[in-house]
Amino acid sequence: MQKKILSQNRKARHDYFIDEIYEAGIVLSGPEVKSLRESRASLKDSYARIKDGELFLYNMHITPYPFAHNLSLDPIRTRKLLMQKREIKRLIGKTEEKGYSLIPLSIYVLRGIIKVELALAKGKRKYDKRHALREREMKRELDQLKKKDIK
C-alpha cells in the first residue's frame, strides 16, 4: 500500500506539538483532482474545523486546472472532509480543550483516492521552537563528531 504525497505542510511540525494523526477523505471537483495530481496545492495557513457535526477544511489553496474552461472555482474555497461520525464526535471533545486545533499535515493518494492527513495539535510557544532547534543542532553536532571518530 504505497501512498504518493501530493502536498505537505512542512511548517506544521515546527509550529505545533502533534498529539494524534487522523486520515480523512476530501470532497473535490474534477478539475481540482487533476490539479492536485500535478501537486499544485498549498496547505500553508490551512486548518480544519467542525461545524454542525461536519468537518471542513479552510484556506487550502488548489491552483485552478488550466484546461478546465467550463468550470471556474475559487482556489481557497472551503472543502468538506469525510470522516466517520464517531471519529468526528471524538474530535469535537478534543478540539474544545484549550489550545487544540486540527491542522492538515499532508495530502496524498492512497489506492486512487485522495486523502488528507489531519493532526490534532497544540501550538508551540516561541521558546519551545528555540528549544527544538537547539536540540536538533546538538544532535547534528554529535553525529558529526561520531563520524570523525569513526574515520
Q: Determine the Cα–Cα distance for residues 106 and 69; give it in Å rounded to an integer.
A: 28
With respect to residue 149, please indicate whether it lies within any of the assigned structural domains: no
Its sign, for the CA torsion 93, 117, 121, 61, is: negative
How many folded domains does the chain comprise?
A: 1
With respect to residue 140, please indicate whether it lies within any of the assigned structural domains: no
Q: Determine the Cα–Cα distance for residues 50 and 7; give it in Å rounded to an integer.
A: 22
Q: Give the CATH number, domain containing residue 96.
A: 2.40.280.10
- Residue range 27-81, pLDDT digits in tens: 988 888 888 888 888 888 898 988 888 999 999 888 888 787 777 777 888 999 9
**Which residue segment(s) compose the domain that 74 sits in?**
3-124
With respect to residue 142, please indicate whether it lies within any of the assigned structural domains: no
Phi, psi for residue 63 in degrees, rounded to 5: -60, 130
With respect to residue 113, please indicate whether it lies within any of the assigned structural domains: yes
With respect to residue 129, please indicate whether it lies within any of the assigned structural domains: no
pTM higher than 0.95 for the full model? no
